[in-house]
Chains A and B, each alone.
Chain A
């Protein structure tokens, strides 16, 4: 018997609001299954269970704002008798609205308490209502029940427009009006970045990458491909960074408990700006091993879900390095702040055509300013320089990415 708790989806998260249960008592779950949806400062996130077993009891009711660590459900291991067959198992009541996050509790708690009547207080799980964070925020603001709406988004997801449509007299500028969610997200970003700057001794390295070969290859590829098969430069950049990170010993992983734990795979956090403000960096899992079309598809899916749907808990917590790319409309360069517990962030500016000397002649070249922010507790400038040079080198042979 173990307790499924409100997970921490990043060092900046203190609490979450339970919005949906996707399982019922008696359901069998396997490690990695999405079992619930919580609303966080970064929008609705699907949270996964980390073991195999059967849902014994639901401990938390929908709509409750719960601190990290609060019990959400009790999971019975395979072969274990149900709670009512073996006396009682329960967990301390959740401390809703607790000002501080609960300390990490032991993995398994078995405490005697009176027979369970509290589990039945959880409202029955409603049908899954997919909706964008903006739609949720607006619906909450207007007091509209999402289940009363028909969604027009992917998979019937409720979009902001669907919520607005129910109130034609509502304000005409939904995108320009930041809701509470954005203010909360700003707080979350502030907390994470303050911690980063307080705890991580950053150092920075700048390198200019010649992007002519990559751009020529990309243009030729895209000219032959239908829109669905086209790639973005961002996909090449993420792939090159992920491959270089996989080779580097000290750029890819987590710094926890005073030591660095390198990661074998590269879960590339991709910084995604949200219109209206806010930033989120969910991870592309195993990015170093994805071929470009697969990486592009995964990135498309990630961006769509970051903006209009739901991200997974693992995508929020298992990033091992972050890539932040400004794209065509951006400024020259980006010197980033590392997202703890990661130890490196690579910022890419907007590609610019600039005069450069090639073989004694001045030629226009497409240039990409690349800036590494890395953790001096883990690496030094020399390995950082090797890492950046490797990214640059990989982008010279885009066909081999």
Chain B
């Protein structure tokens, strides 16, 4: 998977857990909780969706690694290698 694929997938999953967001509105450095107003339930749903789609189990201790799309792409690229 290229980084673009990962970004596309990540954003797709974010808009699935937060259907009132649109992919085009999410910036690479937008903080999921502070900027996009995802709450802890949304984050858990996102982590579950990442697990299902990419097979990557993000432990609780690593949640901050997926706090923005840019950070998530870096983190998930590393986990997918």
Query: Contact at A132–B22, with CB atoms within 8 Å?
Result: no
* Per-residue B-contact encoding for A120-147, CB less than 8 Å = 1, 0 else: 0000000000001011000000000000
Q: Name, among B20, B24, B47, the residue most crowded by chain A CB atoms within 10 Å (CB to CB).
A: B20
Task: Output the least CB separation between A349 and chain B (Å).
Answer: 14
Query: Contact at B20–A132, with CB atoms within 8 Å?
Result: yes
Query: Contact at A161–B19, with CB atoms within 8 Å?
Result: yes
Query: Contact at B20–A275, with CB atoms within 8 Å?
Result: yes
Query: Contact at A174–B20, with CB atoms within 8 Å?
Result: yes
Query: Contact at B44–A230, with CB atoms within 8 Å?
Result: yes
**Provided the pairs A230-B44, A232-B41 are in contact, do residues A223 and B59 lie with their beta carbons within 8 angstroms?**
yes
**Does A11 sit within 8 A of B, measured CB to CB?**
no
In the bound assembly, the distance between CA atoms of A175 and B14 in angstroms comes to: 14
**Provided the pairs A161-B15, A329-B34 are in contact, do residues A228 and B48 lie with their beta carbons within 8 angstroms?**
yes
In the bound assembly, the distance between CA atoms of A307 and B19 in angstroms comes to: 8
Task: Output the least CB separation between A129 and chain B (Å).
Answer: 15
Out of A153, A160, A172, A327, which one reaches B39, CB within 8 Å? A327
Out of A132, A173, A223, A228, which one reaches B60, CB within 8 Å? A223
A-side contacts of B34, CB under 8 Å:
329
A-side contacts of B58, CB under 8 Å:
227
A-side contacts of B48, CB under 8 Å:
227-228
Query: Contact at B20–A134, with CB atoms within 8 Å?
Result: yes
Query: Contact at A226–B20, with CB atoms within 8 Å?
Result: no
Query: Contact at A161–B60, with CB atoms within 8 Å?
Result: no
Out of A172, A175, A227, A307, which one reaches B44, CB within 8 Å? A227
In the bound assembly, the distance between CA atoms of A365 and B37 in angstroms comes to: 27
Out of B22, B33, B47, which one reaches A164, CB within 8 Å? B22
**Does A234 sit within 8 A of B, measured CB to CB?**
yes
Query: Contact at A160–B19, with CB atoms within 8 Å?
Result: yes
A-side contacts of B23, CB under 8 Å:
161
Query: Contact at B37–A219, with CB atoms within 8 Å?
Result: no
Q: Name, among A153, A161, A164, A223, the residue most crowded by chain B CB atoms within 10 Å (CB to CB).
A: A161
Task: Output the least CB separation between B35 and chain A (Å).
Answer: 11
B-side contacts of A234, CB under 8 Å:
40-41
Out of A160, A223, A226, which one reaches B51, CB within 8 Å? A226
Residues 14-61 of B at the A interface (beta carbon under 8 Å): 15-16, 18-25, 33-34, 36-37, 39-41, 44-45, 47-48, 50-51, 57-61
Query: Contact at B25–A173, with CB atoms within 8 Å?
Result: yes
Task: Output the least CB separation between A153 and chain B (Å).
Answer: 6
Query: Contact at B19–A132, with CB atoms within 8 Å?
Result: yes
In the bound assembly, the distance between CA atoms of A153 and B49 in angstroms comes to: 13
Residues 298-338 of A at the B interface (beta carbon under 8 Å): 299-300, 303-304, 307-308, 327-329
Query: Contact at B20–A307, with CB atoms within 8 Å?
Result: yes
Query: Contact at B24–A172, with CB atoms within 8 Å?
Result: yes
Closest A residue to B37 by CB, please name it: A275
In the bound assembly, the distance between CA atoms of A172 and B27 in angstroms comes to: 13
Closest A residue to B60 by CB, please name it: A222
A-side contacts of B15, CB under 8 Å:
161
Query: Contact at B19–A227, with CB atoms within 8 Å?
Result: no
Query: Contact at B22–A329, with CB atoms within 8 Å?
Result: no
In the bound assembly, the distance between CA atoms of A173 and B39 in angstroms comes to: 20
**Does A273 sit within 8 A of B, measured CB to CB?**
yes
**Does A159 sit within 8 A of B, measured CB to CB?**
yes
Query: Contact at A300–B20, with CB atoms within 8 Å?
Result: no
Query: Contact at B45–A219, with CB atoms within 8 Å?
Result: no
**Provided the pairs A132-B19, A160-B20, A307-B19 are in contact, do residues A300 and B25 lie with their beta carbons within 8 angstroms?**
no
In the bound assembly, the distance between CA atoms of A228 and B18 in angstroms comes to: 17
**Provided the pairs A222-B60, A230-B60 are in contact, do residues A175 and B20 lie with their beta carbons within 8 angstroms?**
yes
A-side contacts of B18, CB under 8 Å:
275, 307
In the bound assembly, the distance between CA atoms of A79 and B28 in angstroms comes to: 64
Q: Told that A228-B51, A329-B39 touch, could you supply 6 new A-B pairs with CB distance under 8 A?
A: A132-B19, A172-B22, A175-B22, A226-B57, A230-B44, A232-B40
Q: Give 3 closest A-B pairs by Cβ, nearest first.
A: A227-B48, A159-B19, A227-B47
**CB<8 Å pairs between A and B, sample of 11:** A172-B25, A173-B25, A175-B20, A223-B60, A227-B50, A227-B51, A228-B48, A273-B39, A300-B44, A327-B39, A329-B34
| B contacts, CB < 8 Å to A | 15-16, 18-25, 33-34, 36-37, 39-41, 44-45, 47-48, 50-51, 57-61
